[in-house]
Protein backbone atom coordinates (compact mmCIF):
# COMPACT_ATOMS: atom_id res chain seq x y z
CA UNK A 1 0.00 0.00 0.00
CA UNK A 2 1.37 3.42 -0.92
CA UNK A 3 1.04 5.97 1.85
CA UNK A 4 -0.69 9.19 0.91
CA UNK A 5 -0.58 12.06 3.33
CA UNK A 6 -4.00 13.34 4.43
CA UNK A 7 -3.98 17.00 3.40
CA UNK A 8 -7.47 18.28 4.23
CA UNK A 9 -9.40 18.29 7.50
CA UNK A 10 -11.83 15.81 5.97
CA UNK A 11 -9.01 13.46 4.98
CA UNK A 12 -7.39 13.76 8.39
CA UNK A 13 -10.73 12.99 10.02
CA UNK A 14 -11.15 9.94 7.82
CA UNK A 15 -7.65 8.73 8.72
CA UNK A 16 -8.34 9.16 12.44
CA UNK A 17 -11.62 7.28 12.03
CA UNK A 18 -9.82 4.47 10.19
CA UNK A 19 -7.33 4.13 13.04
CA UNK A 20 -10.05 4.15 15.68
CA UNK A 21 -12.23 1.67 13.79
CA UNK A 22 -9.29 -0.69 13.37
CA UNK A 23 -8.40 -0.47 17.06
CA UNK A 24 -12.04 -1.09 18.02
CA UNK A 25 -12.10 -4.20 15.82
CA UNK A 26 -8.90 -5.44 17.43
CA UNK A 27 -10.41 -5.11 20.90
CA UNK A 28 -13.08 -7.62 19.92
CA UNK A 29 -10.24 -10.10 19.37
CA UNK A 30 -7.85 -9.29 22.21
CA UNK A 31 -7.73 -7.48 25.57
CA UNK A 32 -6.42 -3.94 25.90
CA UNK A 33 -3.09 -5.19 27.25
CA UNK A 34 -2.40 -7.16 24.05
CA UNK A 35 -3.17 -4.35 21.59
CA UNK A 36 0.17 -2.98 20.35
CA UNK A 37 0.83 0.09 18.28
CA UNK A 38 2.94 -1.99 15.91
CA UNK A 39 0.10 -4.40 15.15
CA UNK A 40 -2.43 -1.57 14.91
CA UNK A 41 -0.20 0.24 12.43
CA UNK A 42 0.20 -2.92 10.36
CA UNK A 43 -3.56 -3.47 10.17
CA UNK A 44 -4.26 0.16 9.28
CA UNK A 45 -1.57 0.04 6.61
CA UNK A 46 0.46 2.95 7.99
CA UNK A 47 3.89 3.24 9.51
CA UNK A 48 3.81 3.69 13.28
CA UNK A 49 5.22 7.20 12.86
CA UNK A 50 2.29 8.06 10.60
CA UNK A 51 -0.26 6.74 13.10
CA UNK A 52 1.37 9.01 15.68
CA UNK A 53 0.63 12.00 13.44
CA UNK A 54 -3.00 11.59 14.47
CA UNK A 55 -2.74 10.44 18.09
CA UNK A 56 -0.19 11.00 20.87
CA UNK A 57 0.21 7.30 21.56
CA UNK A 58 -1.50 3.94 21.79
CA UNK A 59 -3.04 5.13 25.05
CA UNK A 60 -4.52 8.22 23.40
CA UNK A 61 -6.22 6.01 20.81
CA UNK A 62 -7.67 3.78 23.51
CA UNK A 63 -8.85 6.76 25.57
CA UNK A 64 -10.74 8.02 22.53
CA UNK A 65 -12.32 4.59 22.16
CA UNK A 66 -13.24 4.58 25.85
CA UNK A 67 -15.06 7.89 25.47
CA UNK A 68 -16.97 6.47 22.48
CA UNK A 69 -17.83 3.25 24.30
CA UNK A 70 -19.21 5.20 27.25
CA UNK A 71 -21.30 7.39 24.94
CA UNK A 72 -22.76 4.27 23.31
CA UNK A 73 -23.47 2.73 26.71
CA UNK A 74 -25.25 5.87 27.89
CA UNK A 75 -27.34 5.88 24.72
CA UNK A 76 -28.36 2.27 25.43
CA UNK A 77 -29.31 3.08 29.03
CA UNK A 78 -31.27 6.15 27.93
CA UNK A 79 -33.58 3.95 25.87
CA UNK A 80 -34.63 1.99 28.97
CA UNK A 81 -37.61 3.28 30.91
CA UNK A 82 -37.67 3.38 34.72
CA UNK A 83 -39.26 0.38 36.40
CA UNK A 84 -42.90 0.53 37.53
CA UNK A 85 -42.12 -0.73 41.05
CA UNK A 86 -43.61 1.55 43.67
CA UNK A 87 -40.77 1.84 46.17
CA UNK A 88 -37.38 3.46 45.73
CA UNK A 89 -35.75 0.26 47.00
CA UNK A 90 -37.43 -1.82 44.30
CA UNK A 91 -36.48 0.68 41.61
CA UNK A 92 -32.92 0.66 42.92
CA UNK A 93 -32.75 -3.12 42.68
CA UNK A 94 -34.10 -2.97 39.14
CA UNK A 95 -31.54 -0.33 38.18
CA UNK A 96 -28.80 -2.51 39.68
CA UNK A 97 -29.91 -5.35 37.39
CA UNK A 98 -29.85 -3.01 34.39
CA UNK A 99 -26.39 -1.63 35.12
CA UNK A 100 -24.83 -5.03 35.79
CA UNK A 101 -26.38 -6.63 32.73
CA UNK A 102 -25.54 -3.80 30.38
CA UNK A 103 -21.92 -3.61 31.52
CA UNK A 104 -21.43 -7.37 31.33
CA UNK A 105 -22.68 -7.20 27.75
CA UNK A 106 -19.98 -4.66 26.88
CA UNK A 107 -16.64 -6.37 27.53
CA UNK A 108 -14.68 -3.82 25.51
CA UNK A 109 -16.05 -0.99 27.65
CA UNK A 110 -15.23 -2.87 30.85
CA UNK A 111 -11.70 -3.71 29.70
CA UNK A 112 -11.04 -0.08 28.77
CA UNK A 113 -12.46 1.15 32.08
CA UNK A 114 -10.27 -1.31 33.99
CA UNK A 115 -7.18 0.05 32.25
CA UNK A 116 -8.14 3.71 32.45
CA UNK A 117 -6.35 4.99 35.54
CA UNK A 118 -3.29 2.75 35.58
CA UNK A 119 -2.57 2.63 31.84
CA UNK A 120 -4.65 4.77 29.50
CA UNK A 121 -4.24 8.07 31.32
CA UNK A 122 -0.45 7.80 31.07
CA UNK A 123 1.80 8.49 28.07
CA UNK A 124 -0.56 11.14 26.71
CA UNK A 125 -0.29 14.89 26.17
CA UNK A 126 -1.92 17.46 28.40
CA UNK A 127 -4.23 18.38 25.53
CA UNK A 128 -5.43 14.78 25.20
CA UNK A 129 -5.89 14.59 28.96
CA UNK A 130 -8.03 17.74 28.98
CA UNK A 131 -10.19 16.48 26.11
CA UNK A 132 -10.68 13.12 27.80
CA UNK A 133 -11.59 14.62 31.17
CA UNK A 134 -14.12 16.96 29.57
CA UNK A 135 -15.70 13.94 27.88
CA UNK A 136 -15.62 11.99 31.15
CA UNK A 137 -17.23 14.90 33.00
CA UNK A 138 -20.04 15.06 30.46
CA UNK A 139 -20.54 11.29 30.71
CA UNK A 140 -20.78 11.41 34.49
CA UNK A 141 -23.37 14.18 34.18
CA UNK A 142 -25.48 12.10 31.79
CA UNK A 143 -25.15 8.94 33.91
CA UNK A 144 -26.17 10.88 37.01
CA UNK A 145 -29.26 12.18 35.21
CA UNK A 146 -30.12 8.64 34.13
CA UNK A 147 -29.90 7.36 37.69
CA UNK A 148 -32.15 10.20 38.83
CA UNK A 149 -34.76 9.13 36.28
CA UNK A 150 -34.92 5.75 37.97
CA UNK A 151 -34.45 6.86 41.60
CA UNK A 152 -35.33 10.57 41.89
CA UNK A 153 -35.30 10.23 45.68
CA UNK A 154 -31.49 10.10 45.57
CA UNK A 155 -31.16 13.66 44.34
CA UNK A 156 -28.22 14.82 42.26
CA UNK A 157 -25.53 14.15 44.88
CA UNK A 158 -26.82 10.70 45.71
CA UNK A 159 -27.15 9.72 42.06
CA UNK A 160 -23.62 10.94 41.37
CA UNK A 161 -22.31 8.94 44.33
CA UNK A 162 -24.03 5.81 43.01
CA UNK A 163 -22.53 6.29 39.54
CA UNK A 164 -19.02 6.81 40.91
CA UNK A 165 -19.24 3.79 43.19
CA UNK A 166 -20.55 1.47 40.46
CA UNK A 167 -17.88 2.58 37.98
CA UNK A 168 -15.09 2.11 40.51
CA UNK A 169 -16.36 -1.34 41.43
CA UNK A 170 -16.67 -2.28 37.74
CA UNK A 171 -13.06 -1.24 37.09
CA UNK A 172 -11.79 -3.51 39.86
CA UNK A 173 -14.29 -6.34 39.43
CA UNK A 174 -13.50 -6.71 35.72
CA UNK A 175 -9.82 -7.35 36.42
CA UNK A 176 -10.55 -9.73 39.29
CA UNK A 177 -13.15 -11.68 37.32
CA UNK A 178 -10.77 -12.48 34.41
CA UNK A 179 -8.62 -15.24 35.95
CA UNK A 180 -5.45 -16.54 34.37
CA UNK A 181 -5.16 -20.11 33.10
CA UNK A 182 -3.36 -21.06 36.31
CA UNK A 183 -6.16 -19.64 38.44
CA UNK A 184 -8.79 -21.38 36.32
CA UNK A 185 -6.95 -24.66 36.92
CA UNK A 186 -6.88 -23.93 40.65
CA UNK A 187 -10.63 -23.27 40.71
CA UNK A 188 -11.26 -26.46 38.76
CA UNK A 189 -9.19 -28.49 41.19
CA UNK A 190 -11.23 -27.81 44.31
CA UNK A 191 -14.87 -26.78 44.82
CA UNK A 192 -13.82 -24.75 47.87
CA UNK A 193 -11.50 -22.70 45.67
CA UNK A 194 -14.06 -22.46 42.88
CA UNK A 195 -16.39 -20.67 45.31
CA UNK A 196 -13.79 -17.88 45.53
CA UNK A 197 -14.03 -17.04 41.84
CA UNK A 198 -15.55 -13.58 41.40
CA UNK A 199 -18.58 -13.03 39.19
CA UNK A 200 -18.51 -9.62 37.51
CA UNK A 201 -22.26 -9.21 37.07
CA UNK A 202 -23.01 -10.30 40.62
CA UNK A 203 -20.44 -7.91 42.09
CA UNK A 204 -21.68 -4.92 40.10
CA UNK A 205 -25.32 -5.75 40.80
CA UNK A 206 -24.74 -6.13 44.53
CA UNK A 207 -22.66 -2.95 44.71
CA UNK A 208 -25.29 -0.91 42.88
CA UNK A 209 -28.19 -2.29 44.92
CA UNK A 210 -26.51 -1.95 48.31
CA UNK A 211 -25.15 1.51 47.51
CA UNK A 212 -28.55 2.75 46.34
CA UNK A 213 -30.37 1.38 49.39
CA UNK A 214 -27.66 2.72 51.70
CA UNK A 215 -27.83 6.20 50.22
CA UNK A 216 -31.62 6.16 50.51
CA UNK A 217 -31.42 5.01 54.13
CA UNK A 218 -29.00 7.79 55.02
CA UNK A 219 -31.39 10.33 53.54
CA UNK A 220 -34.22 8.94 55.65
CA UNK A 221 -32.13 9.08 58.83
CA UNK A 222 -32.11 12.52 60.49
CA UNK A 223 -28.76 13.93 61.59
CA UNK A 224 -28.08 13.63 65.31
What's the whole-number average pLDDT of the chain?
Answer: 92
Same structural domain for residues 189 and 208? yes
Burial state string for 69-84 with b = 16 or more CB within 10 A and e = fewer than 16: bbeebbeebeeeeebe
Phi, psi angle pair for 198, to nearest 5°: -85, 140
pLDDT category at 83 given cuts 50, 70, 90 is confident
Contact 37, 48 (CB under 8 A): yes
Same structural domain for residues 30 and 105? no
Query: How many domains does the chain fold into?
Result: 2
Same structural domain for residues 97 and 46? no
Opening angle at CA 18, ends 38 and 114, nearest 5: 65
Distance of CA 23 to the CA centre of its chain: 16
Q: What is the CA radius of gyration of the chain?
A: 20
Closest CA to 98 of 55, 143, 64: 143
- Which domain does 179 fall in, by range? 58-220
Domain end point (choices 36, 54, 72)? 54
Look at 52-66, 77-91, 147-161 and tell me which has the smallest mean pLDDT. Answer: 77-91
DSSP 8-state symbol, 119: I
Indicate whether 7 pLDDT > 80.
Answer: no
Same structural domain for residues 32 and 72? no
Assign residue 129 the CATH number of its domain: 1.10.357.10
The pLDDT assigned to 222 comes to: 58
Closest CA to 73 of 99, 46, 45, 41: 99
Amino acid sequence: MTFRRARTDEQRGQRRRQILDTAAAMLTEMPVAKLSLNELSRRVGLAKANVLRYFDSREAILLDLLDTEIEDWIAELARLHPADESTARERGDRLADILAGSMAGRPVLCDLLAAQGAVLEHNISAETAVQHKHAARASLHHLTALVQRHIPELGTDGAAALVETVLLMAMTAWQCSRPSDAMLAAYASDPALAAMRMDFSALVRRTAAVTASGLLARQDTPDT
